[in-house]
Amino acid sequence: MYKGILHTHTLVVTLFLFIYVIKTILLLSGKNDLLTVFSKKTRVFEMIVSTLFLVTGIYLTMKLPFGGKFDYLFYIKVIMVLASIPIAVVGFKRSNKILAALSLLLITGSYGIAEVYAKRKGAPKESNTLIAANDGKALYENNCVLCHGADGKNGASGALNLSATTLDIPSIATVILNGRNTMNKVDMSAEQADAVAHYVTEHLKGH
Ligand code: HEC
């Protein structure tokens, strides 16, 4: 479910940007007749795409691993997306080039922030080099709780339930060190990953 929504979101955001870029280029180059035709032809499609954009965006936001606190980058992203909408509406209605360009700038900027954000989310609270290589619990709390939760059942960002995992210790360590699908790899030593895998197996798996 989470992965499907994430892929849908990426797809509709890309389509949305694509339509937007074309419209802005047409407006900026003064091809107003072409812009009218293009806008008319893509109107229904654009409505579907923007609705999906918002709905999937809201769903993914609810699944973000924040541990209760929002990150300022996230706020900037949401403000940029929300601000770009009325600016675009007014810009295109009045054929105002500056507003149209500004709105495109905001929406592409927020796309960039989303990319940075995806990389940062799930980053460890502190550097793992400060944590003993055999302290599986501390390493789990520093790196995994955000998504998987203290009991392994949290499921933020589509994280799998670790109490129900069927993976053995070496396979868990492999997921940690290499990442898998939507889970980014976690930056820690092989010894530390082994300690976390033991912690997951002994304290969360089957509990
Ligand atoms: C940013 C969120 C996030 C963080 C942080 C995170 N995970 Fe994950 N984890 C996921 C997601 C998403 C999946 C599902 C990946 C997939 O679909 O293959 C996952 C899957 C797993 C799996 C596979 C479970 C199975 O049964 O197949 C294991 C094991 C796992 N994580 C352990 C950890 C451990 C241990 C840590 C900390 C060192 C950690 N994860 C940190 C999001 C996260």
pLDDT per residue over 143-190, tens digit each?
999 889 999 998 888 899 999 999 999 999 999 999 998 888 999 999
Question: What is the pLDDT averaged over residues 193-206?
Answer: 96
Residue closest via CA to ligand 1's atom 25 equals 165
Q: Which of 168, 167, 169, 206 is nearest to 191 (CA)?
A: 169
Structure tokens at 42: 């893509």
Residue 206 Cα, ligand 1 centroid: separation in angstroms? 16
Residue 160 Cα, ligand 1 centroid: separation in angstroms? 6
Question: What is the pLDDT averaged over residues 3-21?
Answer: 90
Residue closest via CA to ligand 1's atom 2 equals 147
Average pLDDT, the chain: 89
Q: Which of 116, 108, 113, 118 is nearest to 13 (CA)?
A: 108
Question: What is the pLDDT averaged over residues 49-71?
Answer: 78
Residue 25 Cα, ligand 1 centroid: separation in angstroms? 42
